[in-house]
């Protein structure tokens, strides 16, 4: 993906580990993404209502809510945001059984930045192509 296109990819990082979320957002900014960080599912919901990001990186386990709950709510309200669920659990698929999820993928923590940017770019491209197909 070209630098100019990257500039338009907005990424919202959601993790209660403030240092992790803010550093990851900073590293994504250094790579040309419009990345911001919030530190709770409630703040994520508010942020998405104000400005719809292309991509959301959502932590699996946060105080007060499970990432799966937050994911389900987010996907119901904002189905066009591509969500990556960040998890340290290798067996999380079992928790997601029975939940129908479009525009969604899992990422195992700790995150590899190179792999992450490839996945973000691919997700953005997938969303763009879907929108083009839906256009009259």
Partner 1 sequence: MRSDSENLVRMNHLKFIGKILSVYAHDLNNQLGIIKEASGLMQDIVELNKSKDNRLKDELAKSIKSIHSRVGEAAFITSKLSAFGRGIGGDGHSLNINEIVGELLVLLKRMGDQRRIEFVSDFQANIATVNADPLMLRFLIFCLMEDQLMRLKSKGRLVFKTVRSGDVVSLTIFSEGEVAQSDEKRTFPDGMAQLIAETYGLSITLNGRDSRITLNL
Q: Binding of partner 1 at residue 118 (CB under 8 A)?
A: no
Q: How far apart are CA 123 and CA 81, in angstroms?
A: 10
Binding segment (CB under 8 A) for partner 1, from list 3-11, 12-20, 71-79, 125-133: 12-20
Q: How far apart are CA 122 and CA 130, in angstroms?
A: 12
* Helical packing angle, 67-77 and 41-50, nearest 10°: 20
Q: Provide, rounded to whole angstroms, the least separation between the CB of residue 22 and partner 1.
A: 9
Q: Provide, rounded to whole angstroms, the least separation between the CB of residue 30 and partner 1.
A: 5
Q: Provide, rounded to whole angstroms, the least separation between the CB of residue 23 and partner 1.
A: 4
Straight-line distance from the first to the last Cα atom of the chain, in angstroms, rounded to the nearest whole number: 26
3-state DSSP assignment of residue 51: coil
* Residues 81 and 103 sit within 8 Å (Cβ to Cβ): yes
Q: Provide, rounded to whole angstroms, the least separation between the CB of residue 94 and partner 1.
A: 8
- Residue in 89, 101, 127, 128 binding partner 1, rule: CB under 8 A: 89
- By CB under 8 A, the residues from 33 to 72 that bind partner 1 are 61
């Amino acid at each position: 993906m070209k630098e100019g296109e990257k500039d338009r990819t907005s990424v919202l990082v959601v993790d209660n580990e403030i240092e992790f979320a803010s550093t990851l957002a900073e590293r994504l900014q250094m790579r040309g993404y419009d990345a911001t960080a919030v530190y709770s599912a409630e703040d994520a919901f508010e942020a998405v209502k104000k400005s719809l990001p292309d991509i959301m990186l959502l932590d699996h386990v946060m105080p007060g809510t499970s990432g799966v709950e937050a994911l389900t709510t987010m996907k119901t309200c904002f189905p066009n945001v591509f969500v990556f669920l960040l998890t340290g659990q290798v067996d999380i698929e079992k928790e997601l059984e029975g939940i129908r999820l479009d525009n969604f993928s899992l990422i195992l923590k700790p995150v590899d930045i190179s792999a992450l940017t490839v996945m973000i770019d691919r997700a953005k491209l997938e969303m763009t192509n879907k929108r083009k197909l839906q256009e009259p």
